[in-house]
Amino acid sequence: MDRGNAVSGIRVWSPVVFLVAFVAGTYPILAGIAERWVKWDEAYSHGLILFAVCLYLTIQKLRRVRPVAGFYWPWLVPLVLSAVLYGIGGMLRIEAVQQIMLLPILFSGLLVQWGWRQTIPFLIPIGLIVFAIPFWDYLAWYLQLVTVAVNQLFLSQLGINFVVEGVFVYFPGIGAFEIAHGCSGLRYLLVGLTLTFLYSELNLATVRARIALISFGAILALVANWVRVFVIIHTGYATKMTSSLVNHHDTFGWWVFAATLVPVFVFARWLEKREDAAAPQDAPESVRATGTGRSALAGLSTSAIPLILLAMAFWPGTVSRAGNVSTDVQHRGLDVFESTEWLPLFGSGLAAWHPIVERPDRSFEQTYVRRGTLESDGQDQQLPHYFVGLYSYDYQRQGGEVIQYGNHIYDGEAFLPSQAFDVGPEGESTMSGVTISAHNDATPIYIAYAYYVEGRWETSELQAKLAQLPGAFNRRTDASLLVVAVRCHDCDGQAALNKIAPGIRDRAQSYIDGAYLRRQ
């Protein structure tokens, strides 16, 4: 083969080979992200469309820039550092770290081969995909709190009698609303950021104009969610929870979001015209670079080596990723009540309620009544029924996390919360509690729940999510959700949970510690 053709071939195929190595090295995380993209009711359902847009923009940029591969060795430092952090995240089972490191690894690898001047034009075309990577979930809790605070301000101006506890808004004698994950506004924020970044890349030249548009779009996306939540809450209050908007409001939310896009694009068009009036000179995108076939080959080999090592360590089926997975899907040997005092019933919930937990590695669900009450009362439906559920993940990964979008203590469309409370001895909260009731059944269900993550009990979703970090130092990888509930017509459900739930939590902890510590 002619040496000139060989050099040209290396320069052309070098980034392609690197991308193949990147996909191989990070495949488990990329596959998990793709799973989130095909869940159409989640905040990342725009992922496939955004990926296609990024691919199109990148190809168009390649045609204009035509980068020449070489070897820019200083960029090996961020590449190796990013790969090491990705590997640490994998060993500690912290997928958020691995997800955050995806783009640094990708861009560092390109920088090794193309250098700064040739890589910078691809920052937006490729980087837009960041708005479809699920690590944004960590923002949801804070956005929920902001949404609650804003709506508390709105409601206080109307003279409405309401009480706010955490993410719950209560209307005494009427009902309550939970500002849940889906009401945080994360979905609108990500779509708004995507659209404004995309418009900026296609139509705006100056950094100041781009920052102004992106900031304006992000603010209006959040405002759209605040307005949506306020209208839903106020409609529920005004109609005493009878309006269909209370339970079916997704379409309404997107109409509100679409309305807020009008001023965004009006502002964007104004910025564009102002730039056109200034008649800026277009900076040439084509950058001439020099590089020999040997330097291009060195850049390719050195940028691919860290990814090959990641592929060897974290490819699906290897011990490091799947060594803790069990085929036993039941918690066997868990004894939450004394069998002499409690009678298990057929059923895994209370009436139509049960926790919604996606794909736990182990689960336990059982309903109980006190022995002797069935014979003496004879009216089974009037008796207090107790439920215990324990759901465990051997290790947390994409689609298998104790805190994830699909996991819920109750179905928000079928049940309404009426009160939040703490469970445990006086002055000590060992579990969180909430009272719910079905739309067609006023009988309350009192629920206590807590998360046991890598040897730590937590009572909130955010704390349970963050508990993975300190848990990394004790070699624990498991995470569990414990739910204890009682359904009764004329009993004090909170008092009943305060009496039995702490003991059940202690038994569950002993069982989980015994089960998972033996596996270390």
Cα angle for residues 469, 473, 477 (degrees, 5° grid): 70
Separation CA 361–CA 328 (nearest Å): 8
The pLDDT value recorded for residue 306 is 63
For residue 113, give Cα distances in angstroms to 132, 349, 350. Answer: 26, 58, 61
Q: What is the DSSP string of 292-320?
A: -HHHHHHHHHHHHHHHHHHHHHHSTTSHH
Per residue, the 3-state secondary structure of 340-369, as one string, reads CCEEEECCCCECCECCECCCCCEEEEEEEE
Is the dihedral angle over the CA atoms 148, 149, 155, 156 positive or is it negative? Answer: positive
pLDDT band, very low/low/confident/very high, at 50 (cuts 50, 70, 90) = very high
The pLDDT value recorded for residue 518 is 64
The pLDDT value recorded for residue 320 is 38
- 136 or 250: which carries more pLDDT confidence? 136
Three-class SS of residue 437? strand
Its pTM surpasses 0.85: no
Q: What percent of the chain has pLDDT over 90?
A: 26
**Over the stretch 183-203, which tens digit does the pLDDT of each residue have?**
888 999 999 999 999 999 888
**Over the stretch 246-279, which tens digit does the pLDDT of each residue have?**
777 777 888 888 898 899 999 999 998 888 777 5
Q: Supply 482's token pair.
A: 């414990």
Reply yes or no on whether the pLDDT at 6 is more than 70. Answer: no
Q: Residue 344 — φ and ψ, nearest 5°?
A: -75, 145
Reply yes or no on whether the pLDDT at 376 is more than 70. Answer: no
| Average pLDDT over all residues of the chain | 81
Residue 480: DSSP 8-state:
E
What end-to-end distance do the CA atoms of the chain give, in Å? Answer: 56
Separation CA 373–CA 375 (nearest Å): 6
Separation CA 356–CA 341 (nearest Å): 28
CB atoms inside a 10 Å sphere around CB 205: 15
For residue 20, give Cα distances in angstroms to 24, 49, 129, 191, 218. Answer: 6, 21, 18, 28, 34
Q: Which of 457, 482, 453 is nearest to 468 (CA)?
A: 453
Separation CA 146–CA 420 (nearest Å): 19
pLDDT band, very low/low/confident/very high, at 89 (cuts 50, 70, 90) = confident
- 520 or 1: which carries more pLDDT confidence? 520
pLDDT band, very low/low/confident/very high, at 281 (cuts 50, 70, 90) = low
Separation CA 99–CA 44 (nearest Å): 14
